[in-house]
Structure 1
Amino acid sequence: MRALLLALLVLSGTAQAAQLEIHLSGGQRNWSSSELLSHPQARDIQIDEDVSYKQPMRYRAVPISALLDGVTAGDHLQAVALDGFAAELPAATLLAREGAKAWLAIEDPQRPWPPLAKHKPSAGPFYLVWTDPAASQIGPEQWPFQVARIRQLATVEQRFPALLPAVDASAEIHAGFALYQKNCMACHRLNGAGDSEFGPDLNIPHSPTEYFTGDFLRQYIRAPQSLRRWPQGRMPGFSEQVLNAMELEQLIDYLQHMAQRKSSPVPDGT
């Protein structure tokens, strides 16, 4: 019992001490949970279709634009979660005044959010959520939870040339590259390029297009557990609402193209 009480005290102290790091070109600012909860623009919002909780949720939240002083629509940001998930986010989407609106939801240590699943933590202490997400085609990978820091970076193309398709690649392949950035890059690297530490590389040593035959890769993207069922599987399925049939083909076209553009040697013994 004493050990349990001590653990609860440690968790409580950790929640109250939660810090969000924001690294922008103009400098770094750390925000505590209490500072954000009392922010002048904080308000209660309703999320009708929460991507992570799969149910309506209410949050105390701040418009993410209120925390991005000096950022302009042409800039690029990245939200990094505690588990290494790294969502690439065009600033124009985060700053938009019309369509989907981005909010930073803040978990109140005195009123913690429910766990995401049995034996799992909550989405806190910080969670990027959206009102009216369909208006701007916001995908599930653009809802990072357990966010630890937000940072301003150069674009993906500038930071990771190993991800670029050939200049003369088709329009479909270039469209697939954009879809890869939106839907895959938060969890995966490709050719060793990317910031995520969450999922496996999608080209080294082998592209999934090299070992999934027939329609199995399409099925896997739509419903991963329909092919590989295991309790710890964390890849979400990408429905037609998130990735329509044409976009799915464009994404696979990009992966097939990059399978011919491996830029890192296959490790010995693999």
Structure 2
Amino acid sequence: MKLILLLALISLTSALQAAEFEVQLEDGRRAWSSSELLKHPQARDIEISDDVSYQRSMRYRAVPLCVLLEGVTPGDHLQAVALDGFAAELPAAILLASEGAKAWLAIEDPQHPWPPLAKGKSSAGPFYLVWTDPAASQIGPEQWPFQVARIRQLAPVEQRFPALLPATDAGADVQAGFAAYQKNCMACHRLNGAGDAEFGPDLNIPHNPTEYFTGDFLRQYIRDPQSLRRWPQGRMPGFSERTIDNTELEQLIGYLQHMAQRKITF
């Protein structure tokens, strides 16, 4: 038994040491191993007082993400891709900001592995995008991708996925709802088959949630999914009023209602 545990520990340590974080930009690819990042000259220990994934205070060895994004400008668009297919769309401006919320790449140390996210699950490592002072820039929970494999530079969502666009004559609230969808939903879901996420179901094909949730049930589901559908494997987080206020929630639902009339047939 001791030998088995020792071999498992050696295997885990080797895997973490071999882990690689990649940045794909228009001018080329860069990559760092866990050991290189842990020794990075700007690596430091940070404390995250309200960690989104662990739901408690956590300490990490981390590197300011901006130092790994040399050549990126605030007007660029980036996407953080996780090992499970989660794909967070991120305007470069928030990752490069010197004021307000600050983005960090936390690196799991093979000698001191992070705890599992839940019983029977792995940790948030080997790489995890975390924030200090997230409220200062209204950073949402979908902008905390864990098990990140790479960050890549892409064209804006509007250019890559026209199937997500509201009608040109859609009102300001629908346009605001589209922005809320990009920030809070697109990391897990596709809509009209459009998007890079491979995590959750499509939100328009074959049916839009506004078509099968009646009354206030959709609002309740977004706020607290387990209050309507309780199952151990449920992975959708709840979105509190601190994350999506009531006005933004109505705008998001308005966008979904609008897109229910703009289904694309495959």
What SS is found at the alignment partner of 2:248? helix
Are 2:65 and 1:64 equivalent residues in the alignment? Answer: yes
Separation of aligned partners in 2, 1:97 and 1:4: 44
Residues matched between the structures, number: 265
Deviation at 1:263, TM superposition (A): 1.4
Separation of aligned partners in 2, 1:164 and 1:4: 52
What SS is found at the alignment partner of 1:179? helix
> What residue in structure 2 maps to residue 179 of structure 1?
180
Superposition RMSD on alpha carbons, in Å? Answer: 1.0
Cα shift readout 1:41-67 (whole Å, capped 9, x = no counterpart) = 111111111111111111111010000
Are 2:140 and 1:139 equivalent residues in the alignment? Answer: yes
What amino acid does structure 1 have at the position aligned with 2:204? N
> What residue in structure 2 maps to residue 161 of structure 1?
162
Q: Map of 1:74-223 to 2, 5 A cutoff?
A: 74-223=75-224
Q: Structure 2: any 5+ residue segments left out of the alignment?
A: none
Separation of aligned partners in 1, 2:59 and 2:13: 21
Separation of aligned partners in 2, 1:264 and 1:148: 33
CA contact (8 A) 1:192 1:264 kept: no
Deviation at 1:165, TM superposition (A): 0.3
Please, what TM-score do these two structures have when normalized by structure 1?
0.96
Separation of aligned partners in 2, 1:8 and 1:69: 35
CA contact (8 A) 1:223 1:238 kept: yes
Deviation at 1:229, TM superposition (A): 0.5
Separation of aligned partners in 1, 2:31 and 2:89: 20
Separation of aligned partners in 1, 2:104 and 2:14: 25
> What residue in structure 1 maps to residue 9 of structure 2?
8
Q: Percent identity?
A: 80
What SS is found at the alignment partner of 1:72? coil
Separation of aligned partners in 1, 2:194 and 2:20: 28
Separation of aligned partners in 2, 1:246 and 1:261: 23
Deviation at 1:8, TM superposition (A): 3.5
> What residue in structure 1 maps to residue 263 of structure 2?
262
Cα shift readout 1:137-161 (whole Å, capped 9, x = no counterpart) = 0000000000011101000001000
Deviation at 1:4, TM superposition (A): 4.9
Runs (4 or more) in structure 1 with deviation over 6 Å come to none
Please, what TM-score do these two structures have when normalized by structure 2?
0.98
Q: Structure 1: any 5+ residue segments left out of the alignment?
A: 266-270
Separation of aligned partners in 1, 2:82 and 2:193: 19
Deviation at 1:200, TM superposition (A): 0.3
CA contact (8 A) 1:61 1:104 kept: yes
Deviation at 1:99, TM superposition (A): 0.5
CA contact (8 A) 2:12 2:110 kept: no
CA contact (8 A) 1:22 1:29 kept: yes
Deviation at 1:3, TM superposition (A): 5.0
Separation of aligned partners in 2, 1:5 and 1:50: 31
> What residue in structure 2 maps to residue 45 of structure 1?
46
